[in-house]
Chain A
Amino acid sequence: EAGVTQFPSHSVIEKGQTVTLRCDPISGHDNLYWYRRVMGKEIKFLLHFVKESKQDESGMPNNRFLAERTGGTYSTLKVQPAELEDSGVYFCASSHRGYRVYEQYFGPGTRLTVT
């Protein structure tokens, strides 16, 4: 079974540019999550999809961040326009339904650097 994959692994952009991160969850996982770790800080929740619907987006920092999950498969997280404070590692995770919903499987992350 393939794990959670994320693309790109690294991205370096200038302030004001747009970046789109992609996450492919484990096949069959209805739940998909985005987290972010800013350097020196703890990993923080951004949002949670159940299939294509946003279950919880309480962690999205502002309206420069847009997450989508069309068709309930892969997800994208777009940052537009990027600011310096958006730099960090963005993790995606997925989980099954039912009692296994609490077992979140994480991808390797995308390291975003905004200069």
Chain B
Amino acid sequence: AQSVTQLDSQVPVFEEAPVELRCNYSSSVSVYLFWYVQYPNQGLQLLLKYLSGSTLVKGINGFEAEFNKSQTSFHLRKPSVHISDTAEYFCAVIHAGGTSYGKLTFGQGTILTVHP
């Protein structure tokens, strides 16, 4: 079984500052990794995903994440945030292969609040 830990439940930051949202996972098998964002009163939107290849993944809205297999981490970063980035962010994994290929396992979520 896999689990996902998002190390910060809330991250306040000022506009135009850099931000890093941390995510660690544990799994006995290979996993695929995802970051989702949920803006207020909306559904979850896929920001980026890592399936294979380059460990640095670029997503939408200027976000990127780096897969570190040795540290079992997939931290999300943005060099300069905007007010509009205020949202809840979720890290998630899927077991690579097997019949549960559609089962996303989520972390607890990190609320990013960008202050002017």
Binding site for B on A (CB under 8 A): 3-4, 31, 33, 35, 41-45, 48, 55-56, 58-59, 91, 93, 95, 101-109
Contact = CB atoms under 8 A, between A and B. Distances in A.
B42 interface: yes
Contacts, number: 62
B104 interface: yes
B103 A58 contact: yes
Given A103-B46, A106-B45, A55 B102 contact: yes
Given A102-B32, A107-B43, A33 B107 contact: no
B49 A102 contact: yes
Given A42-B106, A42-B108, A45-B104, A104 B46 contact: yes
A91 B46 CA distance: 14
B90 interface: yes
Taking residues whose C-beta sits less than 8 angstroms from the other chain, chain B's interface range is: 20 to 34
Interface in B65-93: 90
B102 A48 contact: yes
A101 B103 contact: no
Contact of B41 (A56, A58, A107, A108): A108
Contact of B107 (A35, A42, A48, A108): A42
Interface of B: 4, 32, 34, 36, 41-46, 49, 51, 90, 94, 99-109
Contact of B103 (A45, A103, A107): A45
B46 to A, nearest CB: 6
A95 B102 contact: yes
A48 B101 CA distance: 9
A98 B22 CA distance: 30
Contacts of A43: 44, 90, 104, 106, 109
Contact of A56 (B44, B51, B100): B100
Given A48-B103, A103-B49, A4 B43 contact: yes
